[in-house]
A and B are shown apart, each in its own frame.
Chain A
Amino acid sequence: MLRHFVRSCAISLAICSGAALADNSLPSLTLNGFGTLGVVHSDVSDADFVSDPFASSGAGYSSNWSAEVDSRLGLQATIAATSELSTTVQVVSEKRFDGSYSPDIEWAYLQYDATPQLSFRVGRMVQGNFLNSEYRKVSFATPWVRPPAEIYRLVPVANFDGVDLRYRYYVGELINDLRLSYGGGSLEYETGDIESSDSWGVSQQTRWGNTTLFAGYGEVNVSAEELTQFFDVYRLFGPPGEALADRYEVDGKPLRFLSVGVNYDPGQWFVEGEWVRLSSSTLLGSSESAHMTAGYRLGKWTPYAALGRARVTSNTFEPGLNPAFYPSPFAEGAVLLNSTLNALISSGLQQDSRTIGLRWDFRPGMALTAQYDHVDFRSGSPGGLINQQPGFQPGGTMNLFSLALDFVF
């Protein structure tokens, strides 16, 4: 139903856009775009580094230097029908799970401003779980080549089809934005898809001069057909199998995100920090992540440095079914299930990263950024690397060299 609505929004926008009008008159049409042309090299040659965990290939094993990890193009159209009613559609083309660049709808909503302080939206939007979530794909708007993986890879489905409410209020010199959102979404990947439903979030952002404070809480309910089938097999193994399925099942259990962030930017320099806790009683486990970036502006040059850390706080090993209790071939099946379960619960991001970079704003709306990351994977974590080859050893280190041209128009 909502997906249908999103599509009709896009179509009506395309029809309306024939009527572009002069300044200040309504309806008005505004077109904007953003993009990144980026290459990245990883020194881990037996697995792929990716930014999007559901991508099909990346840098390292598949290619020495990959232009697929960070490159993308986004186009946005906004039509203001009246001063209260507007619609916005944003389409993003980037490397997908199937290897294509076919565009996806990132935002498509109808907005009603009941008052200058209160607005309602319905359609497709992006969850505002973390400080930079909503514009995480607009690399120009952030200091880095890509958002810190420790935090921004935690949310499996960032888009949702639903409703949101935003309330702006002023307390003395404080500018406050409260956002409430509710909806569901889906995400396709190579061998299946992930559905999220009944997901909601609340976030509060306060700006006070050069300081921005952010706090957010959200719950995401996800289900994946593949995982449901996996636990159905576990349930065939009697009460011990059922207990394990109940313990690690994803379906019907919320992932809870709590986050706080702060940014201080007096102009000459900036510092930003974020802390996130993910908790769930599923195989996705619980984790804590933190990130900090500082930069200094020297005219058009902005050198910056960042530190990141992610830790899984739940168990990363499960003894599972005891094969000795089952006759062949169930015993072999139990061994296979246990090893798959352990591979899944140990795949959470556990790493420390150090980043340095230099951004050059060489002309308005364009910036060139060079970035070096050193990532130390902890406790046998595969660090979110995909296409792992037989010789790949989890728990090592990785060096990344990235170069990106970011633009907005």
Chain B
Amino acid sequence: MAKRLSRWYCCVLLSLLSCTVYADLVVVVSAEAALSRIQRQELKDLYLESRNSLPGQARITPIDQSERSRERSEFYRRYIEKTPAQLRTHWARLIFTGRGQPPQALADSQAVVERLIRDPYALGYIDPDFLDERLKVVTVE
């Protein structure tokens, strides 16, 4: 009985933990931007295919974070579903055949915030601690 209970506790703890991990990253744009929701496939196209427009949107510039940042590995694991090794090969193939350049990478969440509030066409991902009224969270569907 005690054993079963502890396992139950573990499950609850784990699910709480995964909830917090899930909330640890938000996709954001400037509060002035028109965009409020985005398809997961559209997000992949922006970050992997050098795409800079979405249906119904004028243009959109994806902003990345430094390869060393926690936010970046979280973002690519959760939304783009690519490992760092896959990404490096992917970009080497695109760059050296002239098909595109990876999104501009900024140092950290703070730098992304500063960029987004200046540019209503930019989209980025940040640690939710950096959220403020100048930004808008984009729902990923």
Instruction: Give residues in A with beta carbon < 8 Å to B.
Output: 23-24, 30, 32, 34, 74, 76, 78, 83, 88, 90, 107, 109, 111, 116, 121, 126, 134-135, 138, 140-142, 173, 175, 265, 267-268, 297, 302, 361, 364-365, 408
A126 touches B53 (CB 8 A): no
Residue contact B98 to A111, C-beta cutoff 8 Å: yes
Per the 8 Å Cβ criterion, residues 68-117 of B in contact with A are: 81-86, 88-89, 92-93, 95-98, 101, 104
Q: Name the distance in Å between A210's Cβ and chain B's nearest Cβ.
A: 8
B127 at the A interface (CB under 8 A): no
Which of these, B51, B85, B98, B101, contacts A361 with CB under 8 Å? B85
Residues of chain B contacted by A364 (CB below 8 angstroms): 67, 84, 88
Nearest chain B CB to A407 CB, angstrom units: 10
C-alpha gap A78/B89 in the complex (Å): 19
Q: Is the CB of A74 within 8 A of B101?
A: no
Which of A88, A134, A302 is close to B85, meaning CB atoms less than 8 Å apart?
Answer: A302
4 other contacts beyond A116-B53, A267-B83, with CB at 8 A cut-off?
A: A78-B101, A107-B98, A140-B92, A364-B84
Number of interface residues of B (CB under 8 A): 25
Query: Judging by beta carbons under 8 Å apart, are A138 and B53 in contact?
Result: no
CB-CB < 8 A to A90: which residues of B? 96, 98
B61 within 8 A of A: yes
Docked pose: A365 CA to B53 CA in angstroms: 29
A116-B53, A141-B89 known; A78 vs B83 contact (CB < 8 Å):
no
In the complex, which of the residues B61, B93, B119 contacts A141, with contact meaning CB atoms closer than 8 Å?
B93
In the complex, residue of chain A having the shortest beta-carbon distance to the beta carbon of B97: A134
Lowest 9 A-B CB distances belong to which pairs? A141-B92, A134-B97, A88-B98, A267-B83, A138-B96, A141-B93, A135-B93, A408-B92, A140-B92
Q: Which of B13-66 contact A (CB under 8 A)?
A: 41, 45, 49, 51-53, 61
Instruction: Tell me which residues across on chain A come within 8 A of B52, comparing CB atoms.
Output: 83, 116
Nearest-neighbor residue (CB-CB) of B122 within chain A: A24
In angstroms, Cα B95 to Cα A377, docked, is: 36
A residues near B85, Cβ cutoff 8 Å: 297, 302, 361
Q: Indicate if the CB atoms of A267 and B86 lie closer than 8 Å.
A: yes
List the interface of chain B (C-beta within 8 A of A).
Answer: 41, 45, 49, 51-53, 61, 67, 81-86, 88-89, 92-93, 95-98, 101, 104, 119
Residues of chain B within 8 A of A297, CB atoms compared: 83, 85
In the assembled complex, which residues on chain B have CB atoms less than 8 Å from the CB atom of A32?
95-96
Nearest-CB residue, chain B, relative to A302: B85
Q: Report Cα–Cα, A140/B88, bound state, in Å.
A: 9
Name the one of A76, A88, A267 contacting B82, with C-beta atoms under 8 angstroms.
A267
CA distance A107 to B86 in the complex (A): 25
Contact B93 A30 (CB under 8 A): no
- Give Cα A265–Cα B87 distance, bound, in whole angstroms: 11
A344 CB to closest chain B CB (Å) equals 33
**Which chain A residues lie closer than 8 Å to B49 at the CB level?**
175
Q: Looking at the complex, which one of A30, A173, A268 makes contact with B101 (CB distance below 8 Å)?
A: A30
In the complex, how many angstroms separate the beta carbon of B29 from the nearest chain A beta carbon? Answer: 16
Closest residue on chain A to residue B104 by CB atoms: A23
Q: A109-B98, A364-B67 are in contact. Are A267 and B81 (CB under 8 A)?
A: yes
Within the assembled complex, what's the spacing in Å between the Cα atoms of A142 and B97? Answer: 13
Q: In whole angstroms, what is the CA distance A297 to B51 when docked? A: 28
User: Cβ of B119: which chain A residues have Cβ within 8 Å of it?
Assistant: 24
Q: Please report the C-alpha to C-alpha distance between residue A297 and residue B85 in the assembled complex, in whole angstroms.
A: 9
Which of B41, B81, B97, B104 has a CB less than 8 Å from the CB of A135? B97
Q: Please measure, in the bound complex, the distance between the C-alpha atom of A205 and the C-alpha atom of B49, giving whole angstroms.
A: 14
**What A residues does B51 contact at CB under 8 A?**
116
Q: Give the chain B neighbours of A361 by CB distance below 8 A.
A: 85, 88
B84 proximity list for chain A (CB < 8 A): 364
25 contacts between A and B (CB under 8 A): A24-B104, A32-B96, A76-B96, A78-B101, A88-B98, A90-B96, A90-B98, A107-B97, A116-B51, A116-B52, A121-B98, A126-B97, A134-B93, A135-B96, A138-B92, A138-B93, A140-B89, A140-B92, A141-B96, A268-B83, A297-B83, A364-B67, A408-B92, A408-B95, A408-B96
Shortest distance between the CB of B49 and any CB in chain A (Å) = 7
CB proximity of B12 to chain A, nearest CB, Å:
29
**Residues on A with beta carbons closer than 8 Å to the beta carbon of B83:** 267-268, 297
Nearest A residue to B55 via CB reads A170
A148 to B97, CA, bound (A): 19
Nearest chain A residue, comparing its CB with the CB of B59: A83
Q: How far is the CB of A119 from chain B (nearest CB, A)?
A: 9
